Amino acid sequence: MQLYHHAFSMNSQKVRLALEEKGIDYISHSLNPIKGKDLNADLFHVSPDGKMPVFQNGNLILTDTLAIVQFIDSLNEPLGGYDVNKERVHEWMRIVDEWEPKLFTLSSIPLKRAYATDEMMKDTEALEQNKRQLERLLDMAEEQLESSEYLAGESFTMADVMFLPLLGWMELLGVSREYINKKRKNLSRYWAKVKRRPSYYAVIGKYFGGVNRYKTLLTNSIIVSFQTLIRRY
């Protein structure tokens, strides 16, 4: 199994969390869009447009994040055990996947200045709609966590795997207090618990915590500025 990914891509983080939680060995191709030499021919062979993540297992190539995570969960025992409610897990995975994270990231301080020239930033209605959709998603999670330990029941499942990177990015961008701690006590308790998982630290926590938080923000600002620059020519 091989995974082409970017360490700071939310969708890539979902896939890597899934692999970590299942304890699956894979060949990691960690690529950096700033360094053109990293974007090798192998990536464009499996993903002609260069989008990541890309998961390859023999002749099987998957580029849709939800499909990748579902495939990983189908290998051996599902995350959370055979007794988990699969329909509920898949429903939560779909709900989380339907929300577009890029708009939220674009408009969030301290990165929004770097994104200011992005065409998406000019569509204020789309930005507001995206924020409302996020609020609904968080409200749904808050309500569910009133009656269960995790999103799909009493076990940690792929539904939670899909959700964790979103919460991690909120913390990175300094908005977790606004969206989680102040308004949603169940979600706040849940977040304090799940971010202690070894998989979270391995994939996200070690980049998003402490002094590394500022390095990550700087790296993403540079990436954004680079992408904006090349779109002009």
- In this structure, the answer to whether residues 213 and 118 fall within a common structural domain is yes
Number of C-alpha atoms within 13 angstroms, CB side, residue 116?
A: 4
Q: Are residues 39 and 98 located together in one domain of the fold?
A: no
Q: Are residues 132 and 21 in the same domain?
A: no
Q: What is the pLDDT of residue 128?
A: 86
Task: Find the largest Cα–Cα distance for the chain.
Answer: 54
Q: Is residue 81 part of a domain?
A: no
What pLDDT was estimated at residue 35?
54
Q: For residue 9, what pLDDT is reported? A: 87
The answer to whether the peptide bond before residue 101 is cis (omega within 30 degrees of 0) is: no
Same domain (yes/no): 28, 136: no
| Residues of the chain under the 50 pLDDT cut | 111, 114-117, 211, 214, 222-233
pTM for this prediction: 0.83
Q: Are residues 127 and 42 in the same domain?
A: no
**Do residues 151 and 216 share a domain?**
yes
Domain span including residue 70? 2-74
Q: CA nearest 216: which of 10, 38, 8? A: 8
Find the helix or strand (DSSP H, E) in which 134 lies: helix 124-144
How confident is the model at residue 64, as a pLDDT? 94
Strand arrangement, sheet containing 54-57: 27-30, 2-5, 54-57, 60-62
Q: Are residues 209 and 106 in the same domain?
A: yes
